[in-house]
Amino acid sequence: MSEMKHLVTLEGLTVDEMMAILKAADEFARGRQQTFNQKVVANLFFEPSTRTQYSFEMAQKKLGIETITFNERVSSISKGETLYDTVKCFEAFGIDALVIRHPEENYFDQLMGHVSIPIFNAGDGSGQHPTQSLLDLFTIWQEFGYFEGLKIAIVGDVANSRVAHSNIQVMKRLGMKVSLVAPPQFQEAGYKWHDLDEVLTEMDIVMLLRVQHERHQEALSLSQAAYHEQYGLSIERERQMKANAIIMHPAPFNRGVEIADEVVACERSRIFKQMENGVYVRMAIMSRAFER
Ligand code: NCD
């Protein structure tokens, strides 16, 4: 059997391997057809999801892959079954791959080496979100055609964001200049922190993040209006951005908090493009795992 094509973090991928995924995504975006008859993938989501779960499903349908959607609430998880035993069950059924989103950081460590089918990480707590990073990279690559030297500000709840964690690592590896902006409560050790208005006009990309209320022990000390004032992309801030700069957000977004209502669909926003690209990138990831 060929090497198992798991995708749990981007650390295990070389730059060439990532570029091959982006190129395949580009082909799917241009209408490449590929069919994997007889393949069945189960989507196991232990946290809410709209974009990640349904774009995986859309990608599976476009590739002719049959899907099983796991519903945690009416599964044996409610009888105390562990993630490990749930995964071993799907493996026993003969499933060809698993997409998993789970609140526990590094949940996949307990599975690596114990399962014989590819695992695609759709988000592990505040840890990593590799498929989101790849779709973000694909969106940036489509826009600029390169990564080296591009300046990005990642703004918001960095400490609790798996999107930020995956992106900071991979973007630095690709030679991008990453500036982080966050309220003190959402900062973490090991990084330099910036003021949004000081970096804004220099940026090629401004990426906003949702405040991850569900991961906080303590409530956010700022009101929504105060957050918007200090950290939100208002229309006034949008106007100060460089001519060809773009706006990104993994979504779901909160209008009027991290991003102004009018900015969501403005000319330089690529937020809906990111959603579209999520389908192509996930097609590329599954194609890579199933291709011989
Ligand atoms: C993100 C996630 O779930 O990490 N959304 C996504 O996958 N598109 C970001 C978030 O929930 O804020």
- pLDDT digits 0-9 by tens, 73-88: 888 888 889 999 999 9
Q: Is the pLDDT of residue 1 over 60?
A: no
- Ligand 1 contact via 129 beta carbon (within 6 Å): yes
Q: What DSSP letter does each residue of 246-279 carry, written as one string?
A: EEE--S---BTTTB-HHHHTSTTB-HHHHHHHHH
- Ligand 1 contact via 250 beta carbon (within 6 Å): yes
Residue 223 Cα to ligand 1 middle (Å): 22
Q: How confident is the model at residue 101 (pLDDT cuts 50, 70, 90)?
A: very high
Calculate the CA dihedral of residues 7, 163, 152, 199 and round it to 10 degrees. -160
Q: Is the pLDDT of residue 204 over 70?
A: yes
pLDDT at 109: 97
pLDDT at 107: 98
pLDDT at 74: 81
**Closest C-alpha to 178, from 152, 207, 143:** 152
Distance of CA 106 to the CA centre of its chain: 15
Give CA–CA dist 99/121, Å, rounded: 6
| Tokens representing residue 179 in the block | 């500036």
From 52, 102, 216, mutation site for ligand 1 pocket: most ligand atoms within 8 A of C-beta: 52
Task: Answer for the pair 170, 214: CB distance below 8 angstroms, yes or no.
Answer: no
Mean pLDDT, residues 41-68 taken together: 97
Q: Is the pLDDT of residue 3 over 80?
A: no
pLDDT at 147: 98
Atom of ligand 1 nearest to the CA of 278: 8
Strand partners, 43: 69, 99
Percent of the chain whose predicted confidence (pLDDT) is above 70: 99
110-122-285 Cα angle (round to 5): 105
Take atom 7 of ligand 1 and give the residue whose Cα is closest: 52
Atom of ligand 1 nearest to the CA of 163: 4
Considering Cα of 246, then 252, then 258, then 259, what sign does the dihedral take? positive
pLDDT at 70: 92
Q: Which backbone phi and psi does 67 adopt, to 5 degrees? A: -125, 150
Residue 168 Cα to ligand 1 middle (Å): 15
Taking the model in full, what pTM does it have? 0.97
Q: Is the pLDDT of residue 2 over 60?
A: no
Q: How confident is the model at residue 150 (pLDDT cuts 50, 70, 90)?
A: very high
Residue 52 Cα to ligand 1 middle (Å): 8
From 57, 100, 102, 132, mutation site for ligand 1 pocket: most ligand atoms within 8 A of C-beta: 132
- Ligand 1 contact via 123 beta carbon (within 6 Å): yes
- Ligand 1 contact via 249 beta carbon (within 6 Å): no
Mean pLDDT, residues 255-271 taken together: 98
Write down the mean pLDDT value for the chain: 96
| Tokens representing residue 229 in the block | 């004032």
13-19-20 Cα angle (round to 5): 90
